[in-house]
Structure 1
Amino acid sequence: MADSAAIGIFDSGIGGLSVARAVRELLPDEQLIYVADSGHAPYGEKTDEYIYQRMQAITQHLVACGVKAIVVACNTATTAAIKELRAQYSLPIIGVEPGVKPAVLGSKTGVVGVLATPRTLLTPAFAHLAERYAGQAKIILQPCPHLVPMIERLELDCAALRKRVTGYIQPLLAQGADTLVLGCTHYNFIADVIADVAGPAVSIVRTETAVAKQLQQRLAQAQLLNSGAKIGADRFYTSGDAGLFNQQLLRLWPAVATALPL
C-alpha cells in the first residue's frame, strides 16, 4: 500500500463531513475520498444487517478506489457493525463513538447527558459503553429523532432547530447535567447552537478531532502517512441527490468540491 493513497471516509449523509474537516486540518497532505450514503439514509431506521450491507458496499467502492484506510464517520454504523467490517478487511478501519469517557471525567456534577439518534442509543455496543462508566456518573440518554433531517436540509441555525434543541436539552439540565455529549457526527454542525441553548456552564463534548488523531496514529504505526505533497483532489460521492449534496458541500466544505454519483 502506497503512503500516497487516499483516505476513505463515509457516513449515511453529511455528518461525516465534520470528521473529514478535522482530518483535513490535522493531515493537510492527505487526499480524501468521502461517501455520503444519502440514498439509503437515515441509518437510524435500518436493521444492523441492512447497515452492514451498506457498509460493505461502500467499503468495496473505497477499496476499488485504492484507499489506505477507512473512517466510519457515523455513530450508528460504528455501533451496528464495525467489528464485522474489520473482520473482513485488513486495512485500518477507524470508527466513532460518543465521548462518554471524557465527559464523565470532566463533569463536576456527576451528571452527563448524551444526545444521539434513537437507533444509536439502542445498540448493544452503546449500552456496553454507557454501562462501563455508569458507576462514575449518572448518564442520561436523550434520543433526538428530528435533528439529523434538519441538518441534512441545512437548517443549522433557525427558530425551528433551536426549539427542537431546547426541547431535548432542558430535561437534561433540569436533572443537573453539566456536560453534554454529541453522539452523532451530524450534531457537530450545530454544536454552537447546542452550546448557546445549554448556557456557558455546560461543557459540550465532541469527538471529531479525537477520531482524526486516532487515524493519524494508525497511519503512523502502519507507516502510511503521506511523505510527500498531496496527490490529486479530494473526491466526494453520494448515493443520493447529487444536486443537494453539491449544495451541502458548498455550505460545509472549505474548498470547491463537486459531488459524484456512487
Structure 2
Amino acid sequence: MTESPIGVFDSGIGGLSVLQALQSALPAEHFVYWADSGHAPYGEKSDVFVRQRSLAIAQHLIERHHIKALVVACNTATAAAIHELRTQYPQLPLIGVEPALKPAIALSRTQRIGVIGTRGTLGSDKFHRLLSSLDGQAEFIVQPCNGLALAIEESTHISASASSEKITALLRGYTGQMGAFGRGPGQIDTLVLGCTHYVFAQNELQTLLGTDVQLVSTGEPVARQTRRLLEAAAQLRSGPAPIAASARMQLLTNGELSGLQAAAQRWLHLPHAACHKADPHV
C-alpha cells in the first residue's frame, strides 16, 4: 500500500486548496483527486444526497485506484458523511475537514471571530457540536454564504475581471451582515473560511476587509494530520527526491474538463494533461 495514491475529493474545485497543502507537505506521494463538479455545490444539497455521493466516490477511489488514504476535502461532505465513511471503511485512514475555529481562537486578539461557510456546513449537527465545545472561549459570528462556492466554481469559465467582480459583490454582501472588521474593541479580527472553495477568494476578501483581519483555512492542518496517520500506519511513500507535481497528480471531474484544467493550471500550476474526465457511472 505504500506506493498507492492518496485519494482526495470535493464537490468541485475547492478541494484543490487542500490538495495544494497536501502536495507541499507530502512531496513524494501520489494523489488522485475527484472533483464532483457535476453535482456541485454540495452546500445547498440534502445530507442524504451528499452522503450518497461521498460513499459512491470513496468506493470508486478504493476499487479503481486502490487508494491508501482518503481526504474528504469538503466541509459539507465531512459534516454529512465522515461518520458513515469511517463505519464503511474502518481500516482506511480517513481525514475530514472542519472550519478551523480552534486555530482562530489562538490567533484572535479581540475574541470576535467570523465564520463563513455553506448553509450545509454551518447548519450541520457536527458544526454545532464543534461550536458548543468552544462555548465561552470566543464570540463567533456565523454567516452562511449561499451562491459563493458556485461563483468560485464558475470563475474558471468566465473572464478573471467578471468573476472577481461577482465574487467580491457576494463577499461584500455577506461580510457586511456580520459587523465591523478590524483590530479595535468589539471588531472581528479573524475570519474562518469554512469552505475549501473560499481559499480561492482570499485576495478579494483581504482587499475587502483590510490587512488587519486574519484569514484562517484548513489546508495545512489537514495535510499535517494526513502525514501523521500515514506515518502511524507505516504507509508513507519512501522514494527518491521529490518528483514533479505533474507526474504524481491525477485529477478527475464529472463536470466540464476545461474548468478543472483552468483551475489546476491557475492554482496548482499543473498542465492540462493532468486532468481527465471521470467515470460517468459513478
TM range (shorter): over 0.9
C-alpha separation between the residues in 1 aligned to 2:251 and 2:164? 27
Q: Indicate yes or no: 2:105 matched with 1:104.
A: yes
Residue in 1 that maps onto 2:235: 224
One-letter identity of the residue aligned with 2:85: L
Alpha-carbon offset, residue 79 of structure 1: 0.7
Q: Distance in 1 between matches of 2:88 and 2:15?
A: 22
User: Which residue matches 1:214?
Assistant: 225
Contiguous gaps of at least 5 residues in structure 2: 181-185
- Residue of structure 1 in register with 2:165 after alignment: 159
In the TM superposition, what is the alpha-carbon distance from 1:5 to its structure 2 partner?
0.7
Q: Is the Cα contact below 8 Å between 1:37 and 1:238 reproduced in 2?
A: yes
For residue 276 of structure 2, the aligned residue among 245, 259, 262 is 259
Q: State the TM-score, normalizing by the size of structure 2.
A: 0.88
Question: Once the two structures are superposed, what CA deviation does each residue of 1:72-129 show, in whole Å capped at 9, x if it has no partner?
Answer: 0000000111011011102101000000011122221121110101111110000111
> Unaligned 5+ residue runs, structure 1?
none
For the 8 Å contact 2:44–2:119, the answer to whether it is kept is no
CA RMSD, 1 decimal:
1.7
Q: Which runs of 4+ in 1 moved over 3 A?
A: 229-233
What residue in structure 2 maps to residue 172 of structure 1?
A: 178
SS at match of 2:178: helix
Cα drift, residue 149 of structure 1: 1.3
> d(CA) in 2 for partners of 1:196 and 1:244?
25
Deviates more, 1:238-247 or 1:11-20: 238-247
Residue 184 of structure 1 pairs with residue 185 of structure 2: no
After TM superposition, the structure 1 stretch with the greater mean CA deviation from structure 2, 197-206 or 170-179, is 170-179
Paired with 1:45 and 1:108, the residues of 2 have a C-alpha distance of 33
Corresponding position of 2:183? none
TM-score, with normalisation over the residues of structure 1? 0.94
**Inter-partner Cα distance in structure 2 for 1:103 and 1:233:** 33
Deviation at 1:154, TM superposition (A): 1.9
Instruction: State the Cα deviation string for residues 58-84 of structure 1 (Å, max 9, x = none).
Output: 011110211100000000000111011
Paired residue total: 261
Conserved 8 A contact 1:242-1:261 = no
Residue 187 of structure 1 and its aligned partner are, at CA, apart by: 0.5
Which range moved further: 243-252 or 12-21?
243-252
